Structure 1
């Protein structure tokens, strides 16, 4: 078996999460978070569309953790992301964290926006 060292650059895997927080790159962030190539940053939730739309052309897919349970994205957010050419995949936040970490380790152009559990 051959092992390859993964270089995340500024992107860091999600190391953990709990009620109201995420741990990314050793940093605990409370509340909603966006993370990707530029590293983690606080996010204002589904109404805060600007940082998500700024990802247009930079990523191939945006995973959206909707909290404890999977939920549809708000129609306005979904429409804006589609118009910007951003493929969004809503899923529960735990599933989004796992999927993000796997694809990040493969060097994919991805980002993650998530609501805490």
Structure 2
């Protein structure tokens, strides 16, 4: 088996996450974020469509937190009307999928709701 180092171009991979935060491109971001070709930014959640205007991406992976949940229909419809496919999954799965497709040079974006620590 031959292993090659993954080289990312201008976009940055998700390096890790934990209760309420994500580590992207060597920086830690608290709360919900977007990871797009234009950079990493805080995100207002599923009602905030502004980060996705004028983005040249084919697919947006939406991480819904620790568990998969449905995205609101109006959120999905608004993005699909802009020509952006929407794939909803848990935030950990969205991070992994985004990183793989990013490493392949695909035009992808990521919108993440944080994984919240559960009380024991």
TM (norm. structure 1) is: 0.90
Residues matched between the structures, number: 115
Cα displacement string for residues 84-109 of structure 1 (whole angstroms, at most 9, x for unaligned residues): 11100000000000000111111111
Aligned residue in 2 for 1:98: 96
Q: Which runs of at least 4 in structure 1 moved beyond 3 Å after TM superposition? A: 1-7
- The answer to whether the 8 A contact 2:60-2:85 is kept is yes
Cα separation, 2, equivalents of 1:105 and 1:87: 19
Deviation at 1:34, TM superposition (A): 0.6
**Alignment of structure 1 residues 1-117 onto 2, 5 Å:** 6-55=6-55, 58-117=56-115
- Give the gaps of 5 or more residues in structure 2: 116-120
Normalised by the length of structure 2, the TM-score is: 0.88
1:51 shift after superposition:
0.9
Q: Report the aligned-residue RMSD.
A: 1.5
Change (3 A) 1:92 1:63: same
What is the CA-CA distance between 1:3 and the residue it aligns to?
A: 5.5
